[in-house]
Amino acid sequence: MSKHPSLDVVIADKLRKKILTGALPLGAHLIEAEHVKEFDVSHGTVRSALKRLEYEGLVESIPRRGVFVVEIHPNDALELSTLRDSLESLAAKRAASTASPQEMKKLKGILEKMQHEVMRDNRKECAALDLEFHRHIVACAHHSRLTAMYAQLASQTEMFINLTDPLHDDLEHMVPLHEPIVRAIETQDAELAFRLSADHNRRDGELLAEQISTRGST
């Protein structure tokens, strides 16, 4: 593999960042020619960057209309939360028997950082650690197909976390939500790790779906 990512990967990274930070809002029209100018690259490069983002579920291509940042409907919020719960619970269950001591140490380290950032009320960092926490548990499961599926969902997961974060008044729920999962994996209680993770995103998914449908009806 080459050391430098290809240009379309670089452009996809830049556009992804804009979408995930809201600089390109949900539903925004992505005009190829504008990005060609903005990044000083070819049409082909922008097109293949957009294809990457489409594969990740961040943009959608509508025939004869163009490419748009996806819109999140109530059903998308529920689909994402239930799919995450399914993949993450499978990962947590396996991790209870497959995580190495080093991997366990890293997981506890992420939780400690999370505790620290909760105290500082640092939402941005907490959201990043939330994502890192679940990604690491998936890595601990040593299941290549699960890892690949979770990676494909990574951008949508990040979008989901960014959208659900403002639904909470504070970050107090973060540690009680994640600490028991770490403990269950550490004590190799696979069933408990599964159960805790199987329910982990449900409330956020429901809250987000509710918020979107209220917003849509006003």
Residues that bind Zn ion (CB under 5 A): 130
Instruction: Give the length of the chain.
Output: 218
- Find, among 217, 198, 218, 194, the residue nearest to 82 by Cα: 198
CB of 66 to Zn ion, least distance (A): 34
CB of 105 to Zn ion, least distance (A): 19
CB of 131 to Zn ion, least distance (A): 8
Q: Rank residues 45 and 201 by Cβ distance to Zn ion and give the closer one.
A: 201
- Local structure of 6: helix, strand or coil: coil
Q: What does residue 46 show for φ and ψ, rounded to 5 degrees? A: -65, -45
Contact 50, 41 (CB under 8 A): no
Using Cβ positions, the residue closest to Zn ion within the complex turns out to be 130
Q: Rank residues 59 and 110 by Cβ distance to Zn ion and give the closer one.
A: 110
Q: Rank residues 56 and 130 by Cβ distance to Zn ion and give the closer one.
A: 130
Q: Rank residues 50 and 118 by Cβ distance to Zn ion and give the closer one.
A: 118
CB of 130 to Zn ion, least distance (A): 4
In order of 120, 126, 167, 211, the CA distances from 214 in angstroms are: 31, 27, 13, 5
In order of 1, 29, 62, 155, the CA distances from 52 in angstroms are: 18, 16, 15, 11
